[in-house]
Homo-oligomer: A and B are copies of this chain.
């Protein structure tokens, strides 16, 4: 870096800063009932779905009801140099919500209005606390939908912050491709629009995409304009069982390489099938399977499905089982989305350490199979699901949080997996983000100079280091 790193950025990543009583008083005066210091409220805001060791909760939680609330909360925190941790529904998997330097949790879950649906332009503008399922419920009557679906019913604001994706990304892209514009509150409390509703633009730096994936470290997202899509004329979903993970993966690679516009293609390994069956009372055959969905015109869907069935047969896949009614499809995809929770319940008291590598599709089999072998050789129970059409997959190592040796084994497995993915031109995180625990992987992946460029941007836009400090990169260790 050119400029020296300011002292504000040089606090150890995990060390609460001093929170002045005057700060809390001022928040209470401004926010009244929208401000809480109750321990239960603070504790609920000091954790997420990750498996990280617990950290003391934030000192205070502010419930924002509108953009002005966010702006005022940021201005007060800025004056006292207090960290701000934006909070949606708490479904992060990478420790994004942990108050590692103490401070204020800024809960936007009550900002959950759909502000405008522009059906004719295929855009919608929402507040950040809107969840993806809520949005799709409200869109239902318009014949439109929003495809991005991380497992949890996450908030749209959180999905922007982590650059989330999910099962439909293979066809519809991720939050990177589907956020048209944001309103954000910067570290000074100013309200900024990062784009317009035009479908494309060459007007200046792409601030929208700078904020998408910034994990709350550059500002607070207060409004989001998204692309939405006409519900396909025809949709059909199919399950195909395979003799091995390899045959399922090779089928996937060929589907993608042939350019078949499949909407979803998800791998579920046999462990996970067992867990999902137990959790959801389904009776899926306990073999590796691909869960697929085809979108298009009735003829187009038939054409796609036929091509995919032929490819699957070539690799030893069985005949498709079809789910054509909306109810059957919903049941199937709910099972997929609940795989994480089904897995957690399969080992009472466990926490899941979830991996998130993503590799170029041609390297998927190499990367995945070697890691399956290593994981099976360990004693750690695991599940494996994958957005394999994108080259992205998740091992979930189901560890006993009180057994340090299990955690260590899981970390070693993940280290090997990430190193393998990076050596194949892949990334350490396809969709969960860096958060607290992948900072070293980010340096391995991007290099010190690229991470320094990120740090330089952070220092410039947040000179007091109040926006979710201690996430993505460290300033104290390189």
Contact = CB atoms under 8 A, between A and B. Distances in A.
Interface of A: 2-3, 118, 120-123, 162-165, 169, 173-174, 176-177, 186, 188, 190-207, 209-210, 212-214, 229-230, 253, 256-259, 297, 299-300, 303, 356, 358-362, 390-392, 421-422, 425-434, 438, 441-442, 445-447, 449-451, 453-454, 456-457, 459-461, 463, 472-473
Contact of A434 (B202, B359, B427): B202
B432 A202 contact: yes
Contacts of A362: 118, 120-121
Contacts of A356: 202
Contacts of A257: 120, 122, 230
9 closest A-B pairs by beta carbon, nearest first, are A460-B460, A209-B209, A230-B259, A197-B425, A120-B362, A201-B427, A121-B360, A198-B427, A198-B358
Contacts of A259: 229-230
Contact of A457 (B163, B428, B460, B472): B460
B258 A201 contact: no
B299 A454 contact: no
Nearest to A392: B200
Contacts of A176: 200, 206, 209
A204 B213 contact: yes
A35 B191 CA distance: 47
A415 to B, nearest CB: 16
A426 B182 CA distance: 14
Contacts of A200: 163, 165, 169, 174, 176, 358, 390, 392, 427, 430-431
Contact of A460 (B199, B229, B422, B456): B456
Given A362-B121, A461-B456, A202 B198 contact: no
B193 A447 contact: yes
A457 B456 CA distance: 8
Given A192-B447, A230-B259, A205 B198 contact: no
26 contacts: A118-B362, A120-B362, A163-B201, A174-B200, A192-B453, A193-B447, A193-B450, A196-B425, A196-B427, A197-B360, A198-B392, A198-B427, A198-B430, A199-B358, A199-B390, A202-B430, A202-B433, A203-B446, A204-B434, A204-B451, A204-B472, A206-B206, A207-B453, A207-B454, A299-B299, A460-B460
A396 B331 CA distance: 55
B430 A473 contact: no
Contact of A196 (B118, B120, B299, B445): B445
Given A120-B257, A453-B186, A460-B460, A203 B427 contact: yes
B446 A198 contact: no
A406 B192 CA distance: 37
Contact of A303 (B297, B428, B472): B297
A197 to B, nearest CB: 4
Given A177-B177, A193-B446, A198-B425, 18 more contacts: A118-B360, A120-B257, A120-B361, A173-B177, A176-B209, A192-B453, A193-B450, A198-B430, A200-B390, A200-B431, A201-B358, A202-B356, A203-B433, A203-B442, A204-B442, A204-B446, A206-B212, A299-B299
Contacts of A361: 120-122, 199
B214 A205 contact: yes
Contact of A198 (B297, B426, B460): B426
Nearest to A431: B202
A207 to B, nearest CB: 6
A412 B193 CA distance: 26
A279 B285 CA distance: 66
Contacts of A186: 449, 453
